[in-house]
Amino acid sequence: MRIAVLLKEVPDPDGEYFLDNNGKIDSQKLIRLPGIFDENALEAALQIAEENQGEVTVFSFGSKDSVITMRHCYAMGANEVVLIEDDLSKDYSPYVVALILSESLKQKGPFDLILAGRESSDFGNGLVGPLVAKHLDIPFLTLIRHIELTENKLKISRLANGGYDIFQCGLPMLLTITSEEYIPRYPSVLKVLKAKKREIKQMSIEDLGINRTNLDSLYKTSILDRSVPVVEGKCQFIEGDTVAEMARDLIEKLSGEGLI
């Protein structure tokens, strides 16, 4: 059982974001982490591998600095980590990323199961998973909260409005994972220390036989402008001598407006 996980390193989703004068997102000062849902996907892969004597390979397209995140994947329990390294990786469109990841999966493959997060925690396009499935010509299903593997058949639970659906499918398959069930494990100090000694296989776009100049045609969208949403504060603060008085005043105001 060979499982691949597609993982993107992202700036801290809880950080503060600014736009520079060119409308570019300034996230230089933020720490970088594995994408939230991608880490759920890695946890799912590790659990399935543990139950089925499988092995897990993580693929990431990122910059040189991603090495710390890649080591975290080892500490969690990945068998191998492959970083396709490019300094411009943050600016590539999902179409480019999907092509690059697909070529690396072909080179290291075949894999029985490929898992990715439901969407990246930064741009949230949710496209890389489906596009990789298309490149590899395998079926996919999104928003998966649980996976069971028995005799080369998958039984998967998928989020649905007001509940979930249970699907069955064969292998190979690509699934995108949600955050409900596969809560990422905290690696022990020992595992973190051991991970520091592990080799991270680094490749370049050229190592995959991809001609950089051909990538330009894969940009399908343009961003016309960006903004940081501004909220106008016009809160009427309720004051009073006692908190009980303030509470009564609030109830009066709300009932006066027919809200309660």
Partner 1 sequence: MLQAQGALVFVEMEKGKLPSISKELLSAGRQVADWLGEPLVAMVLSEKEEIAKECIALGADSVAVIKGTAEILNEGYLPDEYLLAVKTVCESLSPRILLLPHSSIGSDLAPRAAIMLNTHWFSGCTTIRITEDKTITVVRPILGGKIVNNESTNCQPLVITVREKCYEPLEPDWNRKGDIQPLNVQFDSSGSPIKLLETIREEAGVKEGLKNANKIVTGGRGVGSEAGFKVLKELAEIIGGKAGSSKGAVDRNWISADYQVGMTGTIVAPRLYLAIGLSGAIQHMAGCGKSKTIVAINTDPEAPIFKYAKYGIVADWEKVVPPMLECLKK
Closest CB 194 distance from partner 1, rounded Å: 29
Q: Which is nearer to partner 1, 199 or 239 (CB)?
A: 239
Closest CB 74 distance from partner 1, rounded Å: 26
Closest CB 228 distance from partner 1, rounded Å: 6
Residue type, 236: Q
Q: What are the angstrom distances between the C-alpha of 162 and each of 126, 142, 158, 159, 176? A: 22, 17, 11, 8, 19
Residue 253: helix, strand or coil by DSSP? helix
> Cα separation of 227 and 23, whole Å?
8
For residue 134 the two structure tokens come to: 């298309």
Closest CA relative to residue 165, chosen from 143, 133, 150, 181: 143
Residues near partner 1 (CB under 8 A) are 13, 16-17, 19, 25, 119, 121-127, 130-131, 134, 139, 141-143, 155, 158-170, 173, 179-180, 220-229, 231-238, 243-244, 246-248, 250-251, 253-254, 257, 259-260
Q: Which is nearer to partner 1, 69 or 121 (CB)?
A: 121
Closest CB 151 distance from partner 1, rounded Å: 15
Contact 180, 145 (CB under 8 A): yes
Q: Which is nearer to partner 1, 143 or 203 (CB)?
A: 143
Q: Which is nearer to partner 1, 57 or 142 (CB)?
A: 142
Q: Which is nearer to partner 1, 18 or 212 (CB)?
A: 18
Closest CB 170 distance from partner 1, rounded Å: 6
Q: Which is nearer to partner 1, 159 or 210 (CB)?
A: 159
Q: Which is nearer to partner 1, 146 or 191 (CB)?
A: 146
Closest CB 166 distance from partner 1, rounded Å: 4
Contact 120, 108 (CB under 8 A): no
Report which secondary-structure segment, H or E, holds 32: strand 32-34
Number of other residues whose CB lies within 10 A of the CB of residue 27: 17
> Cα separation of 31 and 84, whole Å?
20
CA angle, residues 216, 222, 226, in degrees to nearest 5: 135
Closest CB 201 distance from partner 1, rounded Å: 29
Establish how many alpha carbons lie within 13 A of residue 171's alpha carbon, considering only the half-sphere containing its beta carbon: 19
Tell me whether the omega of the peptide bond preceding residue 11 falls within 30 degrees of 0, making it cis.
Answer: no
